[in-house]
Chains A and B, each alone.
Chain A
Amino acid sequence: MNQEQTPPNTSQEQENSRLVVKLVGIVLGMFGFGFAMVPLYDVFCDLTGINGKTNETAAVYSAPVIDTEREVTIEFITKTMRGMPWAFEANTQRIKVHPGELHTVEFYVRNPASRDIIGQAIPSVSPGTAALYLNKTECFCFNNQPLLSGEEALMPMQFYIDPQLPKDIEQFTVQYTLYDVTEAAQGVAEAQAAMGSK
């Protein structure tokens, strides 16, 4: 109705369309921002260490000054995720170390299942802020671990505590959670074999 008012209406409609385009732009931008929060979260956590994730590649032990004045207690706990049949235990459950010293602890795994399984251990440190100061020079968690049916193994982890560790942290816990990644790992292996790269 009111077609006689077309001239003002069209300019109004143009203004409306311009505003709608801007608002839809915000909507799309915020949808993208939702996904951008994923890498942002990772970067933020890497920098601050607040989600308890440790280094994923080997650190180099540069023989720092060993702080013999201080003693830090580290507890190791293990867990297997649903569907993962392996027995998984920490041989050293509790250790006292001086910051800067290089130590090795071992974890025991056994595959009681009738099939071959590839496992992947994911570390988590609590309180999370300690994660930045736990430097692993060697760890079974850097790679996935294949075990044949019935096979058992000892998996080593070598680490030192950065002497910069905040004074208020006297004790922290490292938890390893073991996942069954057989399907995903075989998929990758087959793809690599197909490309002839391995």
Chain B
Amino acid sequence: MSTATDTLEHDAHHDDHHHGPAKGIKRWLFTTNHKDIGTLYLWFSFIMFLTGGAMAMVIRAELFQPGLQIVDPNFFNQMTTVHGLIMVFGAVMPAFTGLANWLIPMMIGAPDMALPRMNNWSFWILPFAFAILISSLFLPGGGPAFGWTFYAPLSTTYSTDSTALFVFSVHIMGISSIMGAINVVVTIWNMRAPGMTWMKMPMFVWTWLITAFLLIAVMPVLAGVVTMVLTDKYFGTSFFDAAGGGDPVMFQHIFWFFGHPEVYIMILPAFGIISHIIPTFARKPLFGYASMVYATASIALLSFIVWAHHMFTTGMPVAAEMFFMFATMLISVPTGVKVFNWVATMWRGSMTFEVPMLFAIAFVVLFTIGGLSGLMLAITPVDFQYHDTYFVVAHFHYVLVSGAVFSIMAAAYYWLPKWTGVMFDTTLAKWHFWCSLISVNLLFFPMHFVGLAGMPRRIPDYALQFADFNQWISVGGFAFGLSQLIFLALLIKACRHKGEPVSDQVWDGAEGLEWEIPSPAPYHTFDTPPVVK
């Protein structure tokens, strides 16, 4: 993509118009600046990542040995539940929204997001949502313990009163996500620089546009289903209660109608990020740009017709199981197109292995492993064995941790010099990468084996024959958790602007509007739109 801009010249003329940011806490509370809000989202998601990670450490400590040692089963269940909720809604989704805030306006040549005040709201209600969720752990009887999927009747008949807090916090998270998604769609739709046609948009912008539509379509369904749980529990309705004519299996249908598109919400922006990083460090344009766009769109559309593959064991008729099995397998076609394109981009490129590229390559390999175990789970008869075992846990952690989370880290390393104006500490970064890479595999790979051997998920105790593997898994878990403290140290250092100043271009193979503005990115960019050729 060849672009030209008169930003630099323009900035010099208009410097007197540019207020800097306000001082102190008010800057962050009242900001409507997309870069400030992006920063807030990213730090919030990192804090949530460490919080949810600490809960995972509790889980791994308990599972280090068979038998019950450290926590009682009810608290263990609360940890698995809240770990899942925090990682999905608090870490991965806000991290992508933060990246969208920082990058989309800079990538499409817009001065800010389209709806800056709503942007401020959509961030600032999030801390309240998670304060409510985490405070529920301190109620008598404890917090939600029914798994992040809150299946009825676990969440209705058999739950404690913390369910009300859980429902309200999910409502707030949902409103935040919907507002963020509307903002992204309006920004991309209306505020692209002249000349930036649909098929010239950077891949990150494309994948986020599609993600935003998925969010707008399914977050309201999540809001609906938590509302039904609330009214079933407190107001005498019987949506999921067979005694009153309802059906608990219907809960699973409505939940997974939201839940399956949700997992693509957590991976499509990652596809976009990787599609920026690999061309930069392979010094070749992205192979098959148009097919990438169409593949993303088809994955999004297919995500609406595969939800029941989470429910193969609920007793569906064979015809329905066949339909959901084949529809699910169909998704591996567009996903395969993407992996093929990334590999083809690297093929005969002048590759160098800077830290963002290391994470991007790890993403491609490890995400593909997760995709392959997903394909195994899609096979209905096989799923009867794998269902609710650690094999499933291995699968979704490969796609979410070494997939989505690695892509977020790759993005942070890739764009951090542009944000801060200095190169991050590459030694620490390489330590962070290699420690994370080794520990994440030690953590999740043996889960395939214990899962195939029949170790069930969400249980605080296990049969003796799983003890050795579980010790390895726990060691990997602790190592992965500690490795993230390296990342924390690196981020703090970078945010204090300690390091070598970088050029505007930062990476010599990088292309796109965000690399044509100064480093660090000024508080206001593209007050006058650049011209995209």
Contacts and interface: CB of A to CB of B under 8 A. Distances in A.
A interface secondary structure, majority = helix
A194 interface: no
A20 B186 contact: yes
Contact of B315 (A1, A23, A52, A122): A52
Given A19-B190, A28-B220, A33-B221, A122 B243 contact: yes
Interface stretch (A89-97, A98-106, A124-132, A149-157): A124-132
B190 A16 contact: yes
A128 B318 CA distance: 11
Contacts of A51: 247, 249
Interface stretch (B82-90, B250-258, B411-419): B250-258
Given A23-B185, A30-B216, A2 B17 contact: yes
Interface residues of B, number: 40
A126 to B, nearest CB: 6
A177 B186 contact: no
B188 to A, nearest CB: 10
Nearest to B189: A19
B315 A126 contact: yes
A50 interface: yes
Contacts of B225: 34
B6 interface: no
Interface residues of A, number: 40
A19 B185 contact: yes
A26 interface: yes
A88 interface: no
B220 A27 contact: yes
A37 B253 contact: yes
Nearest to B320: A50
B221 A23 contact: no
Given A19-B185, A29-B220, A122-B243, 16 more contacts: A2-B527, A15-B190, A16-B190, A23-B186, A30-B218, A31-B221, A31-B224, A34-B220, A34-B222, A37-B257, A38-B228, A45-B247, A53-B247, A122-B242, A124-B242, A179-B243
Interface of B: 17-19, 114-115, 157, 178, 182, 185-186, 189-191, 216-225, 228, 239, 242-244, 247, 249-250, 253-254, 257-258, 315-317, 320, 527
Interface of A: 1-2, 12, 15-16, 19-20, 23-24, 26-31, 33-35, 37-38, 41, 45, 48, 50-53, 81-82, 120, 122, 124, 126-129, 177, 179, 181, 184
